[in-house]
Amino acid sequence: MISNEEVVRLIDVGKKYYLSGDVYVDALIDINMTIKAGEVVIVMGPSGSGKTTLMNIIGTLDRPTSGRVIIDGVDVTDKDENYLSRFRLERLGFVFQQYNLISQLTALENVMLPMLLTGRYTREEAMEKARLLLDLVGIPEVVNKRPNQLSGGQQQRVAIARALANDPSLVIMDEPTGSIDLASSYLILDLVRLLNRYLGVTFVIATHNMEVASIGGRIIYLRGGRIIEESDLRRIKEEFGRLRVDPVVVAKSYLRVLDIEERRLRRLGLDVTDVERRRNSINDFLGKHES
């Protein structure tokens, strides 16, 4: 159930990546957003739109160039790394596309580790809770197996159990189904849906996958480092709808490419049959569309 409690608030957040001197790239521009407890928020957008930067800033793994970042009621913008590492450990859960499990540890030990690092659990308490979490995500049988003995879907479930270990205020998932098969993807999505619905776990999920997006209560769409509102999306679609590539222009341009290719092949004394076949095909196309 969604509450009025804010887990995330970003205020005028911008992020510049400096390439050299005064040359920079705007990864995020004037981002204002909130995520409330109990929400499943989906972050979408094309490659290079700023999704990863946004997720890293929400997860305190990166700092904004401008603006304020408030996570779980704490303004973390200017906190030092020692504070942030502890903050992440105690208040945030992470599920990455590549799982990021520790290969030398068993599934049980991977889930225990965040609890032990807080110093708030005895080894026995951490072990008991880790077993329960692995049971919760449906893989109690893997407790003593190492990551290389698990399928991709099983590894992702271990990662989810680990993310829940310290009862985080927010679980951040970056392309959670990007490296697993379709059947495992559906299981992961069902699991996220159930954890949110019955346990009230708050999720923010970055994805390109519309099936993943379908479990969200709200979609934040990024383009060029900005949040695109629904009205902007409609305008962009209309503008793209008016843009049409003229096939005749493309065909004529490709004929010029073939001319170059034919000269190159003749210079080398090579067969030009394929070039002539493609030229004939294009000329047939032009004959039908220019008449």
Which H helix or E strand runs over 19? strand 6-20
Residue 246: pLDDT band with limits 50, 70, 90: confident
Q: Which three-class secondary structure state does DSSP give residue 45?
A: coil
Residue 236: pLDDT band with limits 50, 70, 90: low
Which two three-digit tokens encode residue 96?
Answer: 């990455």
- Between 133-147, 152-166, 210-224, 267-281, the lowest mean confidence (pLDDT) is in 210-224
Nearest to residue 32, comparing CAs of 4, 60, 66, 74? 66
Mean pLDDT of 189-212: 88
Q: Bridge-partner residues for 228, per DSSP? A: 221
pLDDT at residue 263 is higher than 80 = yes
Residue 97: pLDDT band with limits 50, 70, 90: confident
* CA dist., res. 215 & res. 199, Å (int): 16
